[in-house]
Amino acid sequence: MHVEGRDYLRCVVCEATFLLPAQRPAAGAERAEYELHRNHPADPGYRRFLGRLAAPLLARLAPVSTGLDYGCGPGPALAPMLRAAGHAVALYDPFFMPDAAALARTYDFVTCTEVAEHFHDPAREFARLDGLLRPGGWLAVMTCFQTDDARFARWHYRRDPTHVVFYREATFRHLAGHFGWRCEVPCKDVALLNKPR
């Protein structure tokens, strides 16, 4: 599929849509784009937005769980919300908080909010996320799900130059099958993936 000078492929197995690798932004351009984002941790609207993932995740967590905010960005907002609910949350971001120690531990939950669409190698990233989860742990992903190819060219989410892979609900069900996870979609654009005990 060719749209506005960019070329996309569809995976016939998982139904994800990928930007051709040669057209992905370089790391410097990607970071510069992220630095333009104005998602302030204290912004009530942004906290409401993140609450779409936080609320169903919190309902499934045991008290005093430990988690990782994977791809937290320069100003983490979700981690303070989860800490306020009594959970310990470590931070990792390849550009802004590249803490290798955070990737050397395992967690009761890992959050990935507005991050998965940036994965240049989704198979490797989801394998890493699986490795970060303890048995019984939750991977909570929020990304705008692709629904209709007819609207893809006009879709606002596609226009962000750092968004290089787009998922459907079927993609998350495929990932769950591949890793042996249980998949729930509690609300629009949120997938909760539970690693077996």
How far, in Å, are 45, 53, 82, 115, 116 from residue 48 at the CA level?
5, 10, 13, 18, 20
pLDDT tens readout for residues 119-160: 999 999 999 999 999 999 999 999 999 988 778 989 999 999
Residue 71 in this model has a pLDDT that exceeds 80: yes
Query: How far is it, in rounded angstroms, from Cα 183 to Cα 191?
Result: 7
Q: What is the DSSP string of 25-88?
A: PPHHHHHHHHTT----TT-HHHHHHHHHHHHHHHTTSPTT-EEEEET--SS--HHHHHHHTT-E
Q: What is the mean pLDDT of residues 16-26?
A: 96
Q: What is the mean pLDDT of residues 6-33?
A: 94
The domain 2-195 is placed in CATH, from the list 3.30.70.100, 3.40.50.1820, 3.10.20.30, 3.40.50.150, at 3.40.50.150
> Which residues, 6+ apart, have CB-to-CB distance to 61 below 8 Å?
87, 108, 109, 138
Q: What is the mean pLDDT of residues 52-79?
A: 96
Lowest mean pLDDT among 84-88, 103-107, 150-154: 150-154
Where do the domains of the chain lie?
2-195
Report the pLDDT value the prediction gives residue 33, as an integer from 0 to 100: 87
Task: Check residues 41 and 138 and name the one with the higher pLDDT.
Answer: 138
Residue 38 in this model has a pLDDT that exceeds 80: no
Report the pLDDT value the prediction gives residue 75, as an integer from 0 to 100: 85
Please calculate the CA angle 39-40-41 and round it to the nearest 5 degrees. 115
Q: What is the dihedral of CA 27, 28, 33, 37, to 10 degrees?
A: 90
Q: Is the pTM of this model over 0.75?
A: yes
